[in-house]
Amino acid sequence: MIPALNILVLNHLAERHVKTITGVMPGITVHTSELAQAASFIADTDILVSWGWMDIRELFLAAPKLKWVHALSAGVENLVFPEIQASSVILTNSRGIHGIPVSEHVLALMLAFTRGLNRLIRQQTEKRWKRVPTDELHEKTIGIVGLGSIGREIAKKAKGLGMNVLATKREMTTEIFVDKLYTPDRLVDMLAQSDFVVVALPQTEETREYFRLEHFEAMKRTAYFINIARGTVVREADLVTALEQGLIQGAGLDVFEHEPLPENSPLWDMPNVIITPHLAALSPYYLDRAVKLFADNLARFCQGGEMFNVVDKQKGY
């Protein structure tokens, strides 16, 4: 018989979410708490559900029964530390639930640029009636840097709009929505052909400052750069240089090296830059999807089955 499980969730849950989790098997108890108050529950916790940006290290050290840490986010940047790496505690994430809102956000940014909305919105605040140059996404080329679950959803929607879809991926696989795959060492070849470059890489030590000035120099002067991954994946000073020197046409940015973006950042005043405050993955359905994914994995955990979205604690993804 499977022993009772105490689950601590560092986020508010609606009653329907709690029922989804407790309905996996009898004997499950769910506590919800803010991070600051979590210490009063942690000693008896078997499973900790957190966000990847939370600093749970002190909780982890005070959790003798802990068997599994799950991130409600795809990123686990603050959940990988020496003690958890050296332990047998399982670490999983919510990879796979972000594709719909993030891909729609990418399409919104690309359409905003092709239809001139970045200029028109500024003109509206000035009550100025003036047509601006427009373009189409149809038959343009999108280059997706990192073809994971989010990258695939972007590719699917881009192909639906009649775009030519390129992508980089470590392993060469058959991808029905991608016209051509490139290995990471051929990134520059892909950049030279792309009208829109979309970064969808995970945040790891390997991807830190992955995008630098030489990559912007390899892009078309008419190309747009879109980052919905993590700000640290791009050397931000090089991006600013590329925009100031006209190496690229513009940028749609949802993530930044420092968040909130400092008021003195030159990015704020650039008319060819669209800034959104790290909300590409936000959706009114986010927590429903995240809880369902966790409950599905919880059933596997309880049954001793193979779990999905298990993070390699040494690699960080």
Tell me the catalytic residues.
230, 259, 278
Token digits of residue 135: 């373009």
Token digits of residue 172: 């060469």
Which residue matches tokens 């942690």? 42
C-alpha angle 86-296-10 in degrees, rounded to nearest 5: 60
Q: Are 227 and 216 contacting, i.e. CB atoms less than 8 angstroms apart? A: no
Nearest to 146 by CA among 110, 190, 83: 190
d(CA 245, CA 239): 10
Is residue 171 packed enough to be buried (19+ CB in 10 Å), middle (13-18) or exposed (0-12)? exposed
- Tell me which H or E stretch contains 168: strand 164-168
Longest Cα separation, the chain: 72
Which residue matches tokens 């912007």? 216
| C-alpha pair distances (Å), 299 with each of 42, 138, 293 | 22, 44, 10
- DSSP, res 257: S
